[in-house]
Structure 1
Amino acid sequence: MKALQDLDIFVRTVDTGSLSATARALDITPAAASAALKRLEAELHTSLLVRSTRSLRLTPEGAVFLEHARLALTTLGEGQQALSTGRHQVQGVLRLAASSDMGRNVLLPWLEDFQDQHPQVRYRLTLSDRMANMYSEPVDAAFRHGKPRDSSLVALSVAPDNRRVLVASPAYLQAHGTPATPQDLAQHDCLCFMLGGEVNDRWTFARDGQPLAVRVQGGHVTNDGDVVRRWALAGRGVAYKAWIDVAHDLAAGRLVALCPDWETEHVPLYLVLPDRRQLTPALRLLREFVAQACATLPGAENVSQTGR
């Protein structure tokens, strides 16, 4: 359907901010993409985009039409899927983003299992600890610890009881001793995560309803959450990680949970989307699949009961 393709090119061009990027993603020439936009504008008898050699922007009419185009693409896509594969099957490309640690060590095998069940589904997976810009980057949904600061985003709960857990390897604890309270962290090497140039060296806890913030320090700082986990496994220090990211390490004894009597920071896992209408049947099934996988991780029953 040429009209549907023209709508897709228009929406993609707005999202990427680049006609050339849209052409590359669809494996067509920039001239073909430009012709599609001109054809759409001719059919609507209005200009949708103001284009120059270096930039493009929506016209007021284009901004109004954009949301209708998004809804039309979603509706038509679901209709095509229902006709071609049946309502109990899903297909298409899921453009996903996730943090480096969860993406590599937890989510990746789950995606493989999900694809085994739904072979018509394909992935484009972006791993970064920086929250993707859901409006300008080619991402449909992102798995993230903690609710996004941007209130315009839709955050669907996946693992509501997820918390951080204070961990270290047996080798580190044998060499440096075991902290009995969060205050004892002042005498330990702490592995810190950095985001946007800001080091997260203020770790929060609570006990008997009383909050406690501890300023930590150490010789290892990184902007990659997976590196923090690897340092912890290598015995380089104490880490404050999301439980989902280290559940298997804790169960296998590669890491040990510390200060179990203290309540740790609550970091629920969400599936984040720019618009609820983008929750396709494939994304809906994937969310349910990942939620079930989180619930069956070793030690899951203890997270909500003990606050660890």
Structure 2
Amino acid sequence: MNSRPALSDLAAFAAIVSHRSFRKAADELGVAPSTLSHMMRTLEASMGVRLLHRTTRSVSATEAGERLVARLQPVLRDLDLALAEVDDFRDRPSGTLRINTSEIAARLLLQQVVPTFLTRHPQMKLDLVTEGRLVDIVADGYDAGIRLGEAIPQDMIGVRFGGPVRFVAVASPNYLASRKKPKTPDDLKQHECIRFRLASGKMFRWEFAKRAQEITVDVPGALTLDHVELMAEAAAKGLGIAYVSAHSAAPWIERGDLVTVLDDWCPSIPGLFLYYPGHRHVPPGLKAFIEVLKALG
């Protein structure tokens, strides 16, 4: 190797491997894909080894590239942390705050928290990524995540917001007109239920509680969806009973298109939490976001 590679080239290489795509990495870094391709040719030439397998449809790391990126990732994370600590001395936070969240939580944040945060901190950028699956926020390069309290990893610090959450079983009046209204969760086995597929591919089992009694039901149904609001919409069209958050069902309930069933089996649960690693430096942008969240959430 004739000279030490530029840090920008190494960071670009790590981004390409992470995204498995020149285009997506270029979008993240704010450069043209052709520029990124030239940077990789320069990097491979300077190191004297091939780092990437390229085809017309995909890109992946070679064995040498895999070893290099495994060493690079913690170094780049430590560099980001070092820069974040220096950023503490700035008068105003700046940079990009990346948060992985559910779509429902993102909609809630967009009502007040996000507009207020961006107005108060004009030098900050906010990148909200909505996913159904629970990700490793550290490994995937996020500053924080947002999920229901029961889904937060134990080694994370959580900040609760939004108040309690309640899931409700809902159906249209037309659907219930010709069927016996369920009185217990077990009665759902005699109904058409709109099932929910998790991002992992598993079917969501409906969980109910009444006093000290808890029941989990693997409900039957001809229709399976992977989007909560679509489930509420399908129930409003008379396709069966759905089990969704009260917030998602509220517009249809207010219009009379949906009614709740099994109310006494649907208690409130601890709501949403923003969470982040407790063992890492908290970036100024995340601190500022948490301040707004606590004030408005």
Q: What is the TM-score when the length of structure 2 is the normalising length?
A: 0.69
1:59 maps to what in 2?
Answer: 67
Specify whether residues 93 and 246 from structure 1 end up closer, same or farther in structure 2 by C-alpha distance, changes over 3 A only: farther
Aligned pairs, how many? 280
Specify whether residues 16 and 232 from structure 1 end up closer, same or farther in structure 2 by C-alpha distance, changes over 3 A only: same
**Cα displacement string for residues 18-39 of structure 1 (whole angstroms, at most 9, x for unaligned residues):** 5664334223311554378579
Specify whether residues 15 and 135 from structure 1 end up closer, same or farther in structure 2 by C-alpha distance, changes over 3 A only: farther
2:167/2:266 contact within 8 Å kept: no
2:211 maps to what in 1?
Answer: 208
1:269 equivalenced with 2:272 (yes/no): yes
**Cα displacement string for residues 85-110 of structure 1 (whole angstroms, at most 9, x for unaligned residues):** x1xx333223333333443x423334
Determine which of 107, 110, 129 is the counterpart of 2:109.
107
Provide the rounded CA distance (Å) in 1 between the counterparts of 2:222 and 2:104: 20
Provide the rounded CA distance (Å) in 2 between the counterparts of 1:247 and 1:147: 23
1:147/1:270 contact within 8 Å kept: no
Please tell me the residue identity of whatever aligns with 1:96: I
1:301 maps to what in 2?
Answer: none
1:157/1:268 contact within 8 Å kept: no
1:96/1:139 contact within 8 Å kept: yes
Determine which of 146, 158, 176 is the counterpart of 1:156.
158
2:148/2:271 contact within 8 Å kept: yes
Please tell me the residue identity of whatever aligns with 2:82: T
Q: Secondary structure at the match of 2:203?
A: strand
1:34 equivalenced with 2:47 (yes/no): no
1:168/1:238 contact within 8 Å kept: yes
Q: Secondary structure at the match of 2:217?
A: strand
Q: What is the TM-score when the length of structure 1 is the normalising length?
A: 0.67
Runs of 4+ in 1 over 6 A off after TM superposition: 247-254
Please tell me the residue identity of whatever aligns with 1:55: S
2:202 maps to what in 1?
Answer: 198
Deviates more, 1:106-115 or 1:220-229: 106-115
2:75 maps to what in 1?
Answer: 68
Provide the rounded CA distance (Å) in 2 between the counterparts of 1:291 and 1:220: 39
The alpha carbon displacement at 1:172 in A equals: 5.1
Specify whether residues 31 and 166 from structure 1 end up closer, same or farther in structure 2 by C-alpha distance, changes over 3 A only: closer
Provide the rounded CA distance (Å) in 1 between the counterparts of 2:110 and 2:93: 19
Q: Secondary structure at the match of 1:285?
A: helix
**Cα displacement string for residues 52-83 of structure 1 (whole angstroms, at most 9, x for unaligned residues):** 444223437x6445323312223314524743
1:11/1:66 contact within 8 Å kept: yes
1:204/1:264 contact within 8 Å kept: no
Deviates more, 1:233-242 or 1:70-79: 233-242
Please tell me the residue identity of whatever aligns with 1:99: S
Provide the rounded CA distance (Å) in 2 between the counterparts of 1:193 and 1:228: 8
The alignment yields a C-alpha RMSD, in angstroms, of 4.4
The alpha carbon displacement at 1:193 in A equals: 0.9
Deviates more, 1:266-275 or 1:236-245: 266-275
Q: Secondary structure at the match of 1:277?
A: coil
Q: Secondary structure at the match of 2:215?
A: strand
Work out the percentage of aligned pairs sharing the same amino acid. Answer: 25
2:173/2:259 contact within 8 Å kept: no
The within-5 A match list for 1:118-267 is 118-132=121-135, 134=137, 139-145=142-148, 147-148=150-151, 154=156, 156-159=158-161, 162-168=164-170, 171=173, 175=177, 178-195=181-198, 196-200=200-204, 202-234=205-237, 236-243=239-246, 245-246=248-249, 256-262=259-265, 264=267, 266=269
Provide the rounded CA distance (Å) in 2 between the counterparts of 1:216 and 1:100: 24
Q: Which runs of 5+ in 2 are unaligned?
A: none
The alpha carbon displacement at 1:205 in A equals: 1.8
**Cα displacement string for residues 126-163 of structure 1 (whole angstroms, at most 9, x for unaligned residues):** 333234564675754432235558x5974634349744
1:169/1:233 contact within 8 Å kept: yes
Provide the rounded CA distance (Å) in 2 between the counterparts of 1:21 and 1:146: 32
Provide the rounded CA distance (Å) in 2 between the counterparts of 1:36 and 1:219: 55
Q: Secondary structure at the match of 1:199?
A: coil
2:100/2:137 contact within 8 Å kept: no
Q: Which runs of 5+ in 1 are unaligned?
A: 295-308
